[in-house]
Amino acid sequence: MSDILITADELAELVVRSPDTLRILDVRWRLDRPDGRPEYLAGHIPGAVYVDLDHELAEHGVPADGRHPLPSTGRLQAAARRWGIDPGDTVVVYDDLKSLSAARAWWLLTDAGLPDVRILDGSLRAWTSSGRPLEEGAVVAEPGSVVLRSGFLPRLTIDQAAALPTDGVLIDVRAEERYRGDTEPIDPRAGHVPGAVNLPTTANVASDGRFLDAAALRAQFSGVGVDQGAPVGVYCGSGVTASHAFVALTLAGFTPQLYPGSWSQWSNHPDRPVAIGSQPGALAPAGKE
């Protein structure tokens, strides 16, 4: 069993062996349909509690904070207790989109000090394709008593993200067209952080949604300049899918840093320069961001 990932078979074993200390969280969310509750109610892994990413895994501040700032410890702890988490529990998180949003829950709960948080490798499809049943309706957990802290995982401020490319690698994990600045459907400016390289996090999983093996992941990250001797940071649009890349880098044996504000924060700071095109250092002309 991986320290981060869990297979559908391993999860099924835990359901039988340790039901009293197992908490399963359904973290369905996507940009075009942020409320995954209807899909959750229609069918979820038995015993899974629904997690509202927008309201439980993020704060809501001013645009300069980004679209999904990290939640306060108090907000996250209140949510974790609603999900029924007690000290010592094993927590398994999943979604229905290649673990892109489940990784956000993994990152936050691991950063908050929970020692045993796993991602269902292959997402919900891994469970259903194994022939196991789903459950309809809402699960209301008995309130938990977990006490959370924060700061167990490395992160970057906006200033640290700006400085990282001088002595390390900053990876923009958005789609190539958004990195290049060809289009920007969500945030106020198009482009990328100067010096950042592009490696979409969707390349870190196979067609079945499972993460690539460690050797394949290392080869991909090495291809954009990541090595053991220099720091590496990751960002995306709002910090959600960057958590997925953080997981992939960790599986590959690196020690990544997450820039939670990501492009949604950077692009809301007019004083921050913007780069465009496929080259990391190509600055946008004035008025062309």
- Active site positions, annotated: 236
Q: Which of 180, 159, 189 is nearest to 287 (CA)?
A: 189
C-alpha 101/C-alpha 186 separation (Å) is 18
Beta pairing class for 49-50 and 22-26 = parallel
DSSP-assigned letters across all residues of 239-272: SSHHHHHHHHHHHTT---EE-TTHHHHHTT-TTS
What distance in Å separates the CA atoms of residue 28 and residue 233, rounded to the nearest whole number?
25
Contact present, 78 and 55 (Cβ < 8 Å): no
- Quick check: 115 and 85 in contact, CB under 8 A? no
Give me the amino acid identity at 128. T
Q: Is the Cα torsion angle 262, 213, 52, 74 positive or negative in sign?
A: negative
